[in-house]
Amino acid sequence: MPDDLPIPEPASQENSGSTRRIVALVAALLIGGVAFILVRSPSKQAAPTSGATTAQHGALGPEERAYLSNVGVDHLEVSRAENFLHQEVTTISGEVSNGGARPLAGVELTLEFSDEANQVTQREVRALFGPPGRPISAGDHREFEVSFEHISAMWNMRPPAVRVSAMEFADAK
């Protein structure tokens, strides 16, 4: 048997280390790019608070539209704090009032955050007070609080525009 078979030399440590650095750099860039895209694109619908749900997302039928003038959103306050993960959390609190004659089982709010030019930079939808919670009685009001872990960096730091985008009557016929 011939002894002159070539024995491949192991790859040099220097070459292997360079390859690992390049692979790690490419992976970091890919992960960073995906994270940037996710952070820059506002969420279409945020998760409801307290497991609350309302009627169909954004649904205002003829009955609800006629009743809309009886539902108010007042006393808005914005606060910012750092959570235990050192992330800044923005909290919007306020009060929903039912000035009409029908109890409300659920209310959905759309919050629009704007920039210095008053252009909407982020739109969030949150469901409040949905079943199985107790309804907002006629003539009553209920405090609410919603939190956001991310708001567009272009936000002008003013309270968002808030509107009722859906509601559900407790005495649905």
* Domain boundaries along the sequence of the chain: 49-169
pLDDT band at 129 (very low <50, low <70, confident <90, very high): confident
| Per-residue model confidence (pLDDT) at position 133 | 75
Fold of the domain built from segment(s) 49-169: Immunoglobulin-like (2.60.40)
For residues 162-169, average pLDDT: 92
Please state whether the predicted TM-score (pTM) of the whole model is above 0.95: no
Angstrom distance (rounded) from CA 130 to CA 54? 5
Starting at the earlier edge strand, list the strands of the sheet with 71-82: 71-82, 88-98, 141-148
CB 126 within 8 A of CB 73: no
| Beta-bridge partner residues of 108 | 127, 166
Helices (H), the chain: 13-40, 62-67
CB atoms within 10 A of CB 146: 20
The DSSP bridge partners found for residue 147 are 91
**Using CA atoms, how far apart are residues 103 and 105, in angstroms rounded to an integer?**
7
Mean of the pLDDT values across residues 92-117? Answer: 94
CA distances from 35 to 44, 45, 106 (A): 17, 18, 34
SS3 category, 91: strand
Looking at residue 3, its pLDDT comes to 62
Q: Does the pLDDT value for residue 24 go beyond 80? A: no
